Amino acid sequence: MIPIPVAIALLCAFLLVLLDTLRVREAVLKGVFLIGALLPAPVFLFVGVGSEVVGGWPREAGIEVAVTRLNMPFLVGEIVLFAFVAFYSLAYFNLKDGKTRKVLALLLLLHAGLMGAFVARDLFNFYIYMEIASVSAFSLVAFSDEKGAKRAAFKYLMLSLLASYLFVFAVGLVYMETGYLNVGLITENARDSRELQVALGVALSALVLKAGIFPLHGWLPDAHSKAPTPVSALLSGAVVKAPAYGMILLLPALPAGEPLRLALLAVAVVSIFFGIAMALLQKDAKRLLAYHTVSQMGYVLLGIASLNFLGAAYYAMAHSIFKGGLFLGIGSMGRKSRELGTFGYRGDAVMMASVIALSLAIGGVSPLIGAYGKGLIYSNLSWPWKLAVPLGSVGTLVSFTKLNSYLAMGRGVKLPASWKLPVLGLALTALAGGLYLGLGLNPKDLLYLSAAFLIFQLLKRAGVFEKSPSPGGGEVGEEVNRLTAVMVAFILLLTLIQGV
């Protein structure tokens, strides 16, 4: 039963292509798309927690899938976000355009790929579904008419393929050493060896790149900011979570020493603060949000590296909800221009309340859902790694104080309810999720908010927000080569640090 939701999304994607070829009515296409988007949720609820081997084969030869306490938050975050994005997409894309209709099929492939990756319990099938999601993702980026979108999609494609090949190479090494691809069987049979250490270093590097974590984030700001708004929401809210789940599969299965975990903790902390610093300097609103994905994925890696997988999973779920909502909100208001100061939510109470709530959620303010995952991650960290969580929260709140100060000055334009309601829905989900998980008001948040406002005022007077780094450019091939060189250096770091 567990693979059925994935099969539903794949079948509906196939039907969409077939029905589009047969020139059926637009209403039928929308109906099939919504079935593929929404039906997996009740099926997962009916199935519940458990595991099975597809086809009843022996575990050694079959494909094991599972719904557990660890992957459930990833699934919930993806399914909730995709449901809101599905309704938004039907209003956003012009389906009378024959080219645009194919977007719906690609979105369902992305949905299926992510669900398949999250339920996979063997490395090869995890890879296959992660690739289905990746190929759909950079195809969707290329659908954007925005200047620079094709360049961003090409860079995303090249680096994503590089990471994929390296991941498959690492999986091959694991299979050669243990004789298994099933994560449970690998865990039982893996013995410390140089080959497995190399495999772990290469695989983790590939997943760090696909997750857009510093220093392998170079493709992310362009891809996430140039994509159509609903695609940006899915890229940032869900697609980067699949590689994070891959790290949760790998780390407990293979021998990972303390030096490797310390290196990952350091990378996570640097990613948190690098993302915040770059976001503070952005004048493009979607690019500001994109750099916050680099920062927020640092929190997820912080949980993974400290072996607090449940904390990482809950923060990944929270990030899916509030970051998806922020991209939909900012993308709706900034449809004509994304430059800060040229648009806003003044006079639009719904968008104002939604964006402010989502901004507080990403800052980890209670009782919104972001505080729960951050609390779990913080509780399992040792000194001084603990400092990264509250300091990162203050930095994030500074950045979103800047964003909201610009939005509060700009008058909102009239937006269709079909654009505003998904943003409001995700904001209410962030609040309801936090209350469901038992969060109440936390007096410490007043301290964080006050510190953030004070730092914002100091930075504003110092003229920091007037500066903006060059967005880059030049030959895309040269940029890919530079990012590849960084990737090679990162692989060497993760392998040599294990004493290979």
Helix (H, G, I), strand (E, B) or coil at 411: strand
Q: Which residues contact 494 (CB under 8 A, 6 or more apart)?
A: 200, 201, 202, 204, 205, 260, 263
Structure tokens given for 177: 């050493």
Q: Where are the domains of the chain?
A: 3-463+475-498
The secondary structure of residue 238, as a DSSP letter, is: I
Helix (H, G, I), strand (E, B) or coil at 176: helix
Please name the residue that has the structure tokens 């030049």. 474
**pLDDT at position 95, please?**
81
Distance CA 359, CA 428 (A): 13
Q: Which residues contact 127 (CB under 8 A, 6 or more apart)?
A: 164, 167, 168, 171
Structure tokens given for 4: 């059925």
Structure tokens given for 386: 């603990």
User: Pairing mode, if any, of strands 63-67 and 50-54?
Assistant: antiparallel
Instruction: Give the pLDDT means over successive 10-residue stretches in the chain (500 positions).
Output: 93 94 89 96 87 86 91 96 96 82 93 96 95 93 86 92 95 94 92 91 96 94 92 95 96 90 96 96 95 97 96 97 96 90 93 97 95 94 93 97 95 90 97 94 93 96 82 76 93 86
pTM: 0.95
Distance CA 37, CA 39 (A): 6
Question: Are the CB atoms for 148 and 108 separated by under 8 Å?
Answer: no
Structure tokens given for 389: 């969580």
**pLDDT at position 413, please?**
84
Count Cβ atoms within 10 A of the Cβ of residue 77 and give its class: 0-12 exposed, 13-18 middle, 19 or more buried: buried
Question: Are the CB atoms for 362 and 400 separated by under 8 Å?
Answer: yes
Distance CA 269, CA 492 (A): 20
**pLDDT at position 147, please?**
84
Q: Which residues contact 451 (CB under 8 A, 6 or more apart)?
A: 394
Q: How many angstroms separate the Cα of 201 from the Cα of each of 129, 173, 400, 422, 492?
A: 21, 11, 35, 40, 8
Please name the residue that has the structure tokens 């050694």. 60
**pLDDT at position 475, please?**
83
Please name the residue that has the structure tokens 């079935």. 35
**pLDDT at position 473, please?**
61
Distance CA 182, CA 385 (A): 33
